[in-house]
Structure 1
């Protein structure tokens, strides 16, 4: 399992190259997209090599979120506190962007370690801006208070036209993610992944991690949320954050992990899907001999290695269908069938070889049962 890193690698590399070659008058004009929703525009003029103009475009906010001057609440204060004299916020920002900063490299610290740490923070602009309101709420949780003038249900943008929700209290903050996926296969895999994520949290080694829950319908905490925000084809995932999860350095890790939770799930869903596609053909190459099975009624011998190769196409047509059972009518599949219950796959069939070696290999079910490393474990 992977944990996504806060600094943009592309942005950090550009910053380091610019600082190392600040005496060279090289014009720079480049664009970058992060997580398919945040856009950067970097500009350096030949006449002023010590300055860099950095513009940032945020995901389009849904109606339930509140922006001030095109930014989440607390973002301006967070930028000023994080970057100090090195960054000047330009008002208005560049057309098509939510924030434009003018970076002055002449004001970087002389110490190389301090300089690098500050450039890391600049490359983490996404976390600073989008994570600002979440950080405000969690900082108050650390002191066991609730931020003043804040709603009982707070909607924060994290994807284009999508939000997640906070329910702040003095002893905990409940965070609810409506999980949405455009592809039906991704939806099924994500549902299984999230349910296994909850199971993994129950292990003794993750007792310090926040409690988490998955439900197919909106939890009670979302009562009063607009109806358009409650459409989620992969269910709703809930974290309960307490004060011990945001103490000291844990605050930064918790903010980033929550902010990128959907991207974290999506990454592993795509990885599981890729494994499903790539694994089946390899299985048939492990042995020079054909694995064979005999059909119960016809007695016809079937090449199971060939059936593995054909299986993904057959299976993809079945994903997402909510029926009691699906019967495979082709010769090599007639003795195996899948029963779907609450989107959890269970496998049955008289021939154990077909059931385990073929079907489970194809959808890589075992990979979905691997224990997740909780991002918030102490």
Structure 2
């Protein structure tokens, strides 16, 4: 089982080559595609010593409503250029002649740039966690029983990050709920997906008691998002709900929680494709074995037999 990386490996390796002390400044012009309809453009449009990294995200307009500009300003600061490159949502420039002095700081900058997509998509999660802090503090002040669910009336944050697929996030005083809508375009994907998702649901009950609660529903959207606009009901659409309790979103765990949950959809579909590839390889192996059996069982014909002088026949095999 493979755990996908949260950062873009191509951007990381490219910057590591250019940040090396003995690296020669060369021209760059690369388009890099990432998961979730994300595209990067890494180029040197002005001079070979200034690398421009641009990001295009399908749901960037949604992210702007949830404070992505402030988050990116916090993470990348003086590297940001405005307006961004034409056709992209966000751009930053790294000057190779003005890099951080120590190798550790250079590696930190490389990783931060490689995490550009992750950091952009983290904006609504961070906002939801801040809402949770506020609501839980108000609940404690009012002596509200934190074990009793309550309709807090908070906004359902929607990220339409793929065609016909979205992420919904809602904070309340005792939890943060994250819901993925997943579209199965093929019938076989739907079959494999249901098996995987049921395993997510059952894993917590069997062994992993501290894991977030996972709920799975087919066709019918969960109650938390039924008021959200643009919901579609179809046999090809499933909803996966992660319920994050206070122990999952402490200050120390929040960054890791965001990274893990963001990659869920890619992780899920990657393993569906791996399962299909494994099944096909086993099927091809069995067909090859059956063909060998059939070839051994092929009956002899008259052409395969020869006759002796006395008229007796014998096979050539």
Superposition TM-score tier, normalisation by shorter sequence: 0.7 to 0.9
Confirm whether residue 271 of structure 1 aligns to residue 274 of structure 2.
yes
Kindly report which structure 2 residues correspond to 1:291-310, keeping only aligned pairs within 5 A, or say none: none
**Helix, strand or coil at the partner of 2:179:** strand
Show structure 2 runs of 5+ residues with no match.
Answer: 139-152, 298-317
Contact 2:157 2:169 in 1 (8 A): yes
Show structure 1 runs of 5+ residues with no match.
Answer: 291-302, 307-378
**Helix, strand or coil at the partner of 2:282:** helix
Q: Normalising by structure 2, report the TM-score.
A: 0.78
RMSD: 2.8
- Seen in structure 2, the aligned counterparts of structure 1 residues 35 and 256 have a Cα distance that, compared at 3 Å, is same
Contact 1:178 1:230 in 2 (8 A): no
- Seen in structure 2, the aligned counterparts of structure 1 residues 230 and 261 have a Cα distance that, compared at 3 Å, is farther
CA distance in 1, matches of 2:291, 2:164: 52
CA distance in 2, matches of 1:221, 1:36: 24
Contact 1:155 1:163 in 2 (8 A): yes
Query: 1:137: which partner in 2?
Result: 128
CA distance in 2, matches of 1:52, 1:289: 58
Contact 1:157 1:164 in 2 (8 A): yes
Aligned-pair CA distance for 1:24 = 2.7
Q: Normalising by structure 1, report the TM-score.
A: 0.66
Query: 1:322: which partner in 2?
Result: none
Moved more, 229-238 or 273-282: 229-238
Confirm whether residue 212 of structure 1 aligns to residue 214 of structure 2.
yes
- Seen in structure 2, the aligned counterparts of structure 1 residues 11 and 145 have a Cα distance that, compared at 3 Å, is farther
- Seen in structure 2, the aligned counterparts of structure 1 residues 248 and 17 have a Cα distance that, compared at 3 Å, is same
Kindly report which structure 2 residues correspond to 1:1-378, keeping only aligned pairs within 5 A, or say none: 1-20=1-20, 24-35=24-35, 37-45=37-45, 47-49=47-49, 51-59=50-58, 66-68=62-64, 73-85=66-78, 87-91=79-83, 93-141=84-132, 144=136, 151-204=154-207, 206-216=208-218, 217-231=220-234, 233-283=236-286, 290=293
Q: Which has the larger radius of gyration?
A: 2
**Helix, strand or coil at the partner of 2:260:** helix
Query: 1:351: which partner in 2?
Result: none
Aligned-pair CA distance for 1:56 = 0.7
Tell me how many residue pairs correspond in the alignment: 279
- Seen in structure 2, the aligned counterparts of structure 1 residues 289 and 106 have a Cα distance that, compared at 3 Å, is closer
CA distance in 2, matches of 1:230, 1:67: 25
Aligned-pair CA distance for 1:140 = 4.2
Contact 2:7 2:111 in 1 (8 A): yes
**Helix, strand or coil at the partner of 1:136:** helix
CA distance in 2, matches of 1:224, 1:136: 20
Q: CA-to-partner distance for each residue in 1:281-322, whole Å, 9 max, x for gaps?
A: 3246679995xxxxxxxxxxxx7xx9xxxxxxxxxxxxxxxx
